[in-house]
Amino acid sequence: MAPTLAMSITGASAAHLIGRAAPLAFLCAAVGVAVVAYGFIRLAAEFSSAGSVYAFVGETLGPRAGFLAGWALLGTYLVFPPVSIAGVAIFGQALLRTVRLAPGTDWFVIAVAAGIAIWLLAARGISPVTRSLLFFEGASVLLILVLMVVIVARLAVGDAPAGQRLSLEIVRWPAGVPVSALVLAATSGFLAFAGFESAGSLGEESRWPTWAIPRAIVTAVVFGAVFYVTCMTVQTLGFGTDPGGVRAFAGSSAPLGDLAISYVGRWLAAALDVGAMLSAVGAGLGGVVVGSRMMFAFARDGLVPRLLAWIAPGTRTPARALAVEMVFGLSTLAAFRIAGTPPIRVFFYLATIGVLNLLVMYALTNVAAGRLPRRRGRRRDVVLPGLGGLTAGYVLYRNVWPVPPTPFDVLPYVVAAWLVVGVLLAVGLVRPRGQR
């Protein structure tokens, strides 16, 4: 899930929409994601496959629905790696500004270096990748916890930089802000949690996958819920709940770095920038793991060119699918650079496309989970997947209506076009179960 990257960049969007109530958006997202995740937990306890939801939904709703779910997930994990690489570029530039070393470095130079690093790490195999992910995130989260403790301590003793204090204003809804904005702000939370489902792609590489993967999902969601809500609360209080503090939070491109400079010093801001970069690298690794394995599963079934099903003998990595994933991501970033798009906009443009695809897949997966036989006396096996599907569908609806501002009004059409292609491929290439 890349919690450090999420907390370093997504909170400002929520603050822009609902001000000091930004922590509520992440609380709502945590509840929504927990409901959505139950469907994944049920399916992962029954099936294990490198194709993740492609297999989960296919075994339950049929191969065509399974392909469409996998296609939506592939749409997410084609764009999430360049999202993560853009994150490396954003915080790489912030680091260079903080330490006053080559502050004018072009973001695309940093992005290319990050892309090559992610490619090399992913090619080493799943075990080294997993260890790298855990190391990057553990170190980065520790830095954030240090900052959070310092902020709370200074707020408690009245020693905050601009007179901020501990306040319960964060639980009072801001005047003049429509409650409907909470759903849009919660999308930032869904983006922060995105990735919890990626464990499902390791069904053929895990020991005891039907036991381990559901527990991995539960651990990720519970950790995310506690960490995100707590961190967003501290960030909001750190900037201040007054209008000036809210404006500062909403306008910050690196909130944790700005707070570190104010409350501790530039050395911690620099360390947090490094932590955010490492977290973004970890997120990129997680993204290419899922995307390449989804292409591998499709290729193995003859739904995309079979050459993508080739496995590197030494590392057991789908190396050709990985190459397609990385070339696509770096080419996408190059196109944005040629167009002169700032990296922060690249991040949110591509992240929006990824989240919209993800919400479609969440809805399909929960419908599939609801079709599994109910275990004796467990109504939640039907109720929670139903609520999960409705939650994903409603968040998706609120992201396309009312029509968002340009260029975000165009992005749903990009996702719709991708899904239409998936439907056409499913009809043309995927055989119903009885004809396989």
The secondary structure of 378-392 as a DSSP string is -THHHHHHHHHHHHH
**pTM, two decimal places:** 0.86
What amino acid occupies position 257?
A: G
Task: Measure the CA–CA gap between 5 and 275, rounded to whole angstroms.
Answer: 8
Q: What is the pLDDT of residue 10?
A: 85
The helices-and-strands tally (H runs, E runs) of the chain is 16, 0
Q: What is the pLDDT of residue 102?
A: 82
Task: Measure the CA–CA gap between 112 and 110, rounded to whole angstroms.
Answer: 6
Q: What is the pLDDT of residue 187?
A: 81
A 10 A CB-CB count for 206 gives: 18
Q: Give me the residue spans of the domains in the chain.
A: 3-435
Q: What is the pLDDT of residue 186?
A: 86
Task: Measure the CA–CA gap between 255 and 1, rounded to whole angstroms.
Answer: 19
CATH match for 3-435 among 1.20.1740.10, 3.40.50.300, 3.20.20.210, 3.20.20.70: 1.20.1740.10
Q: What is the pLDDT of residue 145?
A: 94
Q: What is the pLDDT of residue 154?
A: 94
Q: What is the pLDDT of residue 210?
A: 83
A 10 A CB-CB count for 119 gives: 20
Q: What is the pLDDT of residue 254?
A: 83
All residue ranges of the chain with pLDDT < 50 are 434-436
